[in-house]
Structure 1
Amino acid sequence: HMPTPSVAPSTVSSMTASTVMPSQQKQPMPGMPQQHHPPAVAPKLSKYAESPAAQAQQNRVLTECTRKVQENAYYMKQAMENDDIPNVLHRASQMLGELGDGVSSSLTPKNYYELHMRALDDMPNLEEYFYSLVVAASADQPPKFPAKQLYDNVQYCPKVLPRLYLQICAGSVLIRSGAVTAQWVLQDLIEYVKSVQNPIRGLFLRHYLLQVTRDKLPDKELVKDGYEFVLA
């Protein structure tokens, strides 16, 4: 008899594992749904996810825009004290223009919100100044400006976004003066605001409109118009 060659157990097991027939491989049971594993997909980064370099650029843009807002606000206040109406309108337009400038369009919503709030800090003072122009100082002294004329004049601002902010501010004064009905002014303003196509700028402009006019909605006889204005 020929001697049987000895084979190490580890070699046998490895050979057995490598020679498994396809019919011996694990098959799904009949009637059971097969499981399909989707391919791994890398997680999507947020639209506003920022690298350190992008964050630094955001900070630089926000700082520069804020500086310009503060500078123009300072000169606007000086013009108010000197009763220099053309310069008041010019500086207010420059201040609000930072919200629609091409540079500020690169800001994230969070940083644009900060710039927006800073630009609006001085708007109550501007509204009170406008109101002082359209209200008679005394019975024998007429107002410096008819309220409707002021509302029309601010619309000569060449840039769209600052013009709309000034129009809302002057519209609030026009309602307070009682020269026209609140319903007319609010309907006029909402039509202009709808023209802003940029979603971020349009959102913050509507916020300012609602903030300024929240105590000037139509009277109870016209409550339906008030609802329509808020929902427009």
Structure 2
Amino acid sequence: MIDLHYWPTPNGKKVTILLEELGMPYRIVPVNIGRGDQFTPEFLEMNPNHRMPVMVDNAPADGGKPLAVFESGAIMLYLAEKAGKFYPQDLRGKAEVNEWLIWQMANQGPKSGECGHFRRVDQKEYGDQTYAITRFTDEVNRLYGVLNNRLHKHQYLAGGQYTIADMICYPWTVNWKFQGQDIEEFKHFKRWFEEMGARPAVQKGMAVGAELSVDNTKLPPEEQARIRKMLYNQRARPVPA
């Protein structure tokens, strides 16, 4: 059994999509990031970077004690290798999947996250954000272009077969409108996007934890301020005494 310490964000949904595609039994352990569950000693023991998701394999292949893995890309590699699916083992196929997995972690995820962050900043409170909004909206547009050009030549990101490379990228594209993009600009990406969204396991994975979602804009102003203070502009945590 897999325990997935999870909150319904794109980084969590990458993993639930894979688990659903694999048909692998798993249990969701909610990590309420608005409440600060990711900063508890128990969570930090599993992930010193205090971010979800974290996966715990209660039956690792070596027969040892439960194994905790953090970082969504590392989790997906672990699960795909454990199951022997969606991660080719030939030299060139593996290299292609690894490229797109790391591309997503280094480019698509961080830049899309910054794009969303600055596009929702209250400019009355924090001042003019035009430069940051333009910078990250344009960068996300460039990244959609990278996907579009790749999918012009190939059915899937790693070539002719559906892999974890597709699963890791998809959740960060569903909010393309909020990212200031026009999906009609990228017809090859749109074809892939629609094919991905039609897969039953993708639909199930994306829906996991829907009941946990909270619309922060509907919270009292003081609660919104508390969450922003906790989540944004974090600095280094001191070493425990």
TM-score (norm 2): 0.31
> Larger helix proportion, structure 1 or 2?
1
> Larger strand proportion, structure 1 or 2?
2
Query: Greater CA radius of gyration, 1 or 2?
Result: 1
TM-score (norm 1): 0.32
- RCO comparison, higher one (Cα < 8 Å, 6+): 2
